[in-house]
Structure 1
Amino acid sequence: MPAPTIPYAPHYVPAPATKEELEWAELPIIDFSAASTPEGRAALVPQVCNAMQTYGFMYLVNHGLTQAQNDRIFDIADIPFSQVPEDEMKRYTADIKGTGSYRGFKPREVWIIDNGVRDQLEHYNTHRSITELQSHPKALRPFLPEMRAFTEYNHEKILHPILQILARGLELPEDTFVKMHGFDDQSETYLRFMKYYPRTDEDEQKSKNVWLKGHTDIGTVTILWSQPVSALQILCPDGKWRWIKHIDNAIVVNIGDGMEFLSGGFYKGTIHRVRQPPRDQQGYPRLGVFYFGSANGDVLLKPLQESPVLQRVGIVRRFDDEKAPTMDQFRKGRTAAYGLSELTKKSDVVEEQMIHNVPVRHYN
């Protein structure tokens, strides 16, 4: 039989990697090739769990997709921003505040960053099923089968093994977290294509070069496909902001609040931010591909007290168990409020808001 025809997508050419000497975060690099077997996952437990306890971030390499497949998904990721007319973009714009969902487009200048400066990023979000819960702009439709294959791969070959390893680290049955992350659930585990655009010098000065304030992610596990424009920083255990280095065809993985709550603080939702790139990359856009893992919508975000590990080391709570929100409540509340609601200033660098009895902090 003839091979299926792959639709044409203009090739996206990213910026060259920076040559500047930056202070890089020394994150663990995990060889993920062994994660497909129970024995391999067991062997990865010490490395992965130490990374998620210490940094909340790690790199994965040898995850099964080639550089060519990686390049292809970035070509597709640019379609919503470069090939969709503005009037059609508006028709597919998400009602973020009204629905607490990012499905569809988020245009630029929706969020206030600092001192009246608004964001310069667009993103396009789709539920992992791709076509079951939303429709898409015409230019993106030829690529929907490839997007579906990509979300399935992220969910089953990357997210699930990570969840299995994290469960083993808590000495829980390996499928504990997997059961909470059904592919067919309508919760907001979603694929995001995101593009940052350069800002004016005036806006950079007003916002202290911060493009997205320091925050923790909403869900359980975030999967970020590495790209060469350096802008992501994490707040390291010693209190210093350090840059995340680009590694070709690698994945950057971090823990979100959902997993921190479920693990009783054993795994850390690390604070991270996006700032102006180094000098030799300024003027370039920054295109990103993400897979945001969240637990099923009805999962209560309270510690799994049956964990023998938590029984030994204790539980760190940010709210009482009886006030625990569901994943859906927490996600919708944070999504609807982010960048669109008043924050309480706690210090010169920390602002706070309450989302379903949970204190959520932002760092500037």
Structure 2
Amino acid sequence: MPGRALPHVDEYTPAPPPTEDLDYADLPIVDLSKASTANGRAELAIIARDAMRTRGFVYAINHGYTPAQTKRVFDIANIPFEEVDKEEKLLYSNDIKATGSWEGYKPRSYWHISNGVQDQNEHYNVNPDVYRKQHPQALRPVLPEIDAFVKHCHVNIVHPMLRLLARGLELPEEYLVNLMRYEVPQESYLRFIKYYPRSAEEEAKTNNVWLKGHTDFGGITVLWSQPVAALQILSPEGKWLWVKHIENALVINIGDALEFVSGGFYKATIHRVVQPPPSQRGYTRLGVYYFAMMENDVLLKPLEESGVINRVGIQTDRLPEKGKEPTMEMHRRARTSAFGKSEVAKGEAGVDTEVLNGVLVKHYN
């Protein structure tokens, strides 16, 4: 029986790779095809543990999607920006600051970057329960593909990574998975995002920063690699390093939630988005992300069951006062509502700070 024909989607053509010799971060690679065996997980757990203790980022390969499938995802990701008009976009936007939720559109110029310059990126965010809210007309034919993709990200990418990180904490393999179950209603989200070029005047006012240095606030972030060089991470030595594009690979990092429950054993690394190098200027940057959150009622405090945490102690100064730790829902709502909108305390070397639910949050300009 022949397979069902997929709906037509206009092809998205990405920018060519950069020609510059950039200062790239040296990130280890996790081969997810090895995660299906106990021996493979034992090998990968060491790589994941050491990477998340230092860099906070890894590449992942052999994640289960072919290059053709990944290309199709990027073609779909372009739909909310190129095939939906302004009036319809307004119907599928929400009051982010009031709701503490990204679901739907985040318009361009919503965040303040610096010196009066607003951001020039647009989001479309989808909950794992893909059908709980209606979507723009142009996306409706491909919703079954989006639904399958979200499940793949959560179950076949995030969960294997959580098993590796649980081993690194000397916890049962399913321990962290059970804090981030796919079948439980939660506020993870798939994000399609498009960055648009800015004027030379805006670049000068922001020191070429497109998105301030920050930590993600969830459990695990999965970025599907794309060729426009713009993502940088702050190294342990305090240097900004570029993240290199690897065809059909993933870039995976952890957020605040995993840093907090691991007692700082794993690091939510500061990262930012900057103007691409000269060879890629003038192109848009289309991104596909999956932000996996812990379940709403999980308390973001160190896991007492972890032999590692008990042995090495608390490794972060970002935890709120003991007994006053926020839940995942509290932290998510606060970070979402405040980002790019709240008043922050100006600090030295361009590092601004604020305290949300007892958590120290830093913004790097």
TM range (shorter): over 0.9
Q: What is the CA–CA distance in structure 2 between the aligned matches of 1:76 and 1:261, rounded to whole Å?
A: 35
Are the aligned partners of 1:295 and 1:327 in contact in 2 as well (CA < 8 Å)? Answer: yes
Question: Match of 1:306?
Answer: 305
Structure 1 residue aligned with 2:98: 98
Unaligned 5+ runs, structure 1: none
- The C-alpha deviation readout for 1:276-303, integer Å capped at 9, x for no partner, is 0000000000000000011000000000
- Please say if 1:30 is aligned against 2:23: no
In structure 2, the residue matched to 1:204 is 203
CA distances 1:65-121 after superposition (whole Å, capped 9, x unpaired): 110000000000000000011100011012101100000000000000000000000
Q: Which amino acid in 1 is paired with 2:91?
A: R
Provide the alpha-carbon RMSD of the alignment.
0.9
CA distance in 2, matches of 1:2, 1:241: 50
CA shift, 1:321, in A, is: 2.4
> How far apart are residue 315 of structure 1 and its match?
1.1
User: Within 5 A, what are the aligned runs for 1:64-213?
Assistant: 64-131=64-131, 133-213=132-212
Unaligned runs of 5+ in 2: none
Distance in 2, Cα, partners of 1:258 & 1:69: 30
Amino acid at match of 1:93: S
CA distance in 2, matches of 1:86, 1:349: 35
CA contact (8 A) 1:35 1:161 kept: yes
1:133-185 Cα offsets, whole Å, 9 max, x none, are 21100000001000011011111111001001100111101111101112133
Question: Is the contact made by 2:231 and 2:272 (CA closer than 8 Å) also made in structure 1?
Answer: yes
Tell whether the 8 Å contact from 2:32 to 2:160 is kept in structure 1 after alignment.
Answer: no
CA contact (8 A) 1:129 1:184 kept: no
Q: CA deviation at 1:353?
A: 1.1
Corresponding residue SS for 1:312: helix
- % identical aligned pairs: 55
1:288-326 CA distances to partner (integer Å, 9 max, x unpaired)?
A: 000001100000000002211111111134222211100
SS of equivalent residue, structure 2 residue 323: helix
Q: Aligned equivalents of 1:330 and 1:37: distance in 2?
A: 35
Moved more, 329-338 or 2-11: 2-11
Partner of 2:248: 249
1:188 maps to amino acid:
E
Q: Does the CA-based 8 Å contact 1:222-1:292 persist in structure 2? A: yes
User: Which whole-Å CA distance do the structure 1 matches of 2:297 and 2:133 have between them?
Assistant: 21
* 1:359 paired residue number: 360
Moved over 3 A (4+): none
Query: Which has the higher mean CA deviation after the structures are superposed, 348-357 or 281-290?
Result: 348-357
Letter in 2 for 1:286: R
Aligned partner of residue 123 in structure 1, secondary structure? strand
- 1:331: which partner in 2? 332
Letter in 2 for 1:97: K
**Take 2:133 and 2:35, find their aligned partners in 1: how far apart are those partners?**
32
Distance 2:41 2:74 in 1: 29
TM-score (norm 2): 0.98
* Superposed CA offset, 1:121-141 (max 9, x none): 00000101211x211000000
Conserved in 2, the CA contact under 8 Å of 1:191 and 1:289?
yes
Q: Is the 8 A contact 2:53 2:266 kept in 1?
A: yes
TM-aligned CA deviation for residue 52 of structure 1: 0.6
Q: Report the count of equivalent residues.
A: 363
Partner Cα separation in structure 1 for residue 338 and residue 90 of structure 2: 21
- Name the amino acid aligned to 1:28: P
TM-score scaled to structure 1, two decimals?
0.98
Please give the alpha-carbon distance, in whole angstroms, between the structure 1 residues aligned to 2:66 and 2:11. Answer: 16
User: Match for residue 48 of structure 1?
Assistant: 48
Residue range with higher mean Cα deviation, 109-118 or 42-51: 42-51
Instruction: For 2:218, give the aligned amino acid.
Output: G
Please tell me whether the aligned partners of residues 213 and 362 of structure 1 are also in contact (alpha carbons under 8 angstroms).
yes
CA contact (8 A) 2:221 2:254 kept: yes
2:272 maps to 273
CA contact 2:186–2:296 (8 Å) conserved in 1: yes
Distance in 2 (CA, whole Å) between partners of 1:36 and 1:150 is: 20
